[in-house]
Amino acid sequence: MTFQQEQISHLEEEVVSARRDFQETLSAVETKVEREVERAEDAFSPQKLLRDNLLGAACVAGLFGFLVGSSKYRKVVVPAILVGVGYAIWSGLSNQESDDGG
């Protein structure tokens, strides 16, 4: 083997090694990002926010009650609340089905 061929071989080995290191780093970063996303989803889930902030939830419920009772906003708020309640029921049922199925 000539000197140039040895250099080429050495450089190819370095490229393979760098590619392998890059893949390992990339997989480690993906794992960490997935963990952080799961942690953020857990921290900001509506159920957890409601459990942790009962006073705030009561204030929001009172505000919705006031808006529904107000004749000015009734046409807008009632359908929004019905959609929200429907989504909450659907979400609860779908979570229950996934828990039963899994």
Q: Domain limits of the chain?
A: 1-44, 54-102
Q: What is the pLDDT of residue 36?
A: 92
Poorest-pLDDT segment among 52-56, 80-84, 95-99:
95-99
What is the pTM assigned to this prediction?
Answer: 0.45
Residue 79, burial from CB neighbour count under 10 angstroms (0-12, 13-18, 19+): exposed
Specify the residue for token string 């952080």: 36
Q: What is the pLDDT of residues 7-64, one digit of tens each?
A: 989 999 999 999 999 999 999 999 999 999 988 888 777 777 777 777 877 888 888 7
Integer Cα distance of 25 and 42 in angstroms = 26
pLDDT of residue 79: 82
Q: What is the 3-state secondary structure (H, E, C) of 35-91?
A: HHHHHHHHHCCHHHHHHHCHHHHHHHHHHHHHHHHCCCCHHHHHHHHHHHHHHHHHH
